[in-house]
Structure 1
Amino acid sequence: MKDLRGKTAFITGGASGLGFAMAEALGRDGMNIMIADIEAEAAQRKVEELRARQIRAEWVQVDVTSRDSVRKGAIETIARFGKVHLVANNAGVGAGGALGSVPEGDWDWVIDVNLKGVVYGVEVFVPLIESHGEGGHIVNTASMAGLISPAGMEPYCASKFAVVAMSEGWRQQLAPRNIGVSVLCPGLVNTNIYAGRRNRQHAVYGERDKDYGQADIERQREWMAGGIDPLIVGQRVVEGVRDNDLYILSHVEYERVVRDRFDQIMAGFDKSKQSPALNTLPRDRRLDVVSIDG
Structure 2
Amino acid sequence: MIDIKGRTAFITGGANGIGLGIARSLAREGAKLALIDIDSGALATAKAELQSMTQVETYVLDICDREAFAATADEVERVLGPVTLLFNNAGVAAASSIGGLTYELWDWALSINLIGVINGIQTFLPRMIKNGQGGHIVNTSSGAGLVAFGNGVLYTTTKFAVVGLSEELKVSPELKAAGIDVSVLCPARVATDIVKRTVESTPKGNALIPEELQKKMAENVEKAGKALHQYGLSIDVVGDMVLKGIQENATFILTDRQMEGPLKARAEELLKSLPQ
Higher mean C-alpha deviation, range 123-132 or range 97-106 = 97-106
Structure 1 77/201 Cα, relative in aligned 2: closer, same or farther at 3 Å? farther
Q: Does 1:184 find its partner at 2:191? A: no
Structure 1 214/166 Cα, relative in aligned 2: closer, same or farther at 3 Å? closer
**Distance in 1 between residues matched to 2:252 and 2:222, nearest whole Å:** 32
Q: Is the 8 A contact 2:6 2:30 kept in 1?
A: yes
Letter aligned with residue 177 of structure 1: A
Which residue number in structure 2 is paired with residue 14 of structure 1?
Answer: 14
Count of paired positions: 267
What stretches of structure 2 of length at least 5 have no aligned partner? 208-213
Letter aligned with residue 225 of structure 2: R
Alignment RMSD, CA only? Answer: 2.0
**Distance in 1 between residues matched to 2:169 and 2:102, nearest whole Å:** 31
Matches within 5 A, 1:1-294: 1-52=1-52, 54-173=53-172, 174-197=175-198, 200=201, 202=203, 207-208=205-206, 215-225=219-229, 226-269=231-274, 272-273=275-276
Determine helix, strand or coil for the equivalent of 2:30.
Answer: coil
Q: What whole-Å deviation, never above 9, does each CA across 1:153-198 have from its counterpart, x for those lacking one?
A: 2110110000000001111221222110100011010011102236
What stretches of structure 1 of length at least 5 have no aligned partner? 274-294
Letter aligned with residue 11 of structure 1: I
Q: Is the 8 A contact 1:89 1:121 kept in 2?
A: yes
Determine helix, strand or coil for the equivalent of 1:100.
Answer: helix
Letter aligned with residue 233 of structure 2: I
**Distance in 1 between residues matched to 2:228 and 2:8, nearest whole Å:** 30
Which residue number in structure 1 is paired with residue 210 of structure 2?
Answer: none
Q: Is the 8 A contact 2:188 2:258 kept in 1?
A: no
C-alpha displacement at 1:201, in angstroms?
A: 7.0
Higher mean C-alpha deviation, range 64-73 or range 94-103 = 94-103
C-alpha displacement at 1:120, in angstroms?
A: 0.6
**Distance in 2 between residues matched to 1:243 and 1:14, nearest whole Å:** 22
Higher mean C-alpha deviation, range 65-74 or range 224-233 = 65-74
**Distance in 2 between residues matched to 1:249 and 1:215, nearest whole Å:** 29
Q: Is the 8 A contact 2:166 2:182 kept in 1?
A: yes
Determine helix, strand or coil for the equivalent of 1:184.
Answer: strand
C-alpha displacement at 1:207, in angstroms?
A: 4.7
C-alpha displacement at 1:99, in angstroms?
A: 2.1
Determine helix, strand or coil for the equivalent of 2:99.
Answer: coil
Which residue number in structure 2 is paired with residue 287 of structure 1?
Answer: none
**Distance in 2 between residues matched to 1:267 and 1:214, nearest whole Å:** 39
**Distance in 2 between residues matched to 1:201 and 1:144, nearest whole Å:** 22
Q: Is the 8 A contact 2:5 2:31 kept in 1?
A: yes
Letter aligned with residue 220 of structure 1: A
C-alpha displacement at 1:19, in angstroms?
A: 0.5
**Distance in 1 between residues matched to 2:30 and 2:137, nearest whole Å:** 18
Q: Is the 8 A contact 1:99 1:152 kept in 2?
A: no
Q: Is the 8 A contact 1:87 1:137 kept in 2?
A: yes
TM-score, with length taken from structure 2: 0.90
C-alpha displacement at 1:14, in angstroms?
A: 0.5
C-alpha displacement at 1:103, in angstroms?
A: 3.3
Which residue number in structure 2 is paired with residue 277 of structure 1?
Answer: none
**Distance in 2 between residues matched to 1:215 and 1:255, nearest whole Å:** 29
Q: Is the 8 A contact 1:35 1:58 kept in 2?
A: yes
Structure 1 148/201 Cα, relative in aligned 2: closer, same or farther at 3 Å? closer
Structure 1 215/80 Cα, relative in aligned 2: closer, same or farther at 3 Å? same
**Distance in 2 between residues matched to 1:256 and 1:124, nearest whole Å:** 37
**Distance in 2 between residues matched to 1:224 and 1:105, nearest whole Å:** 27
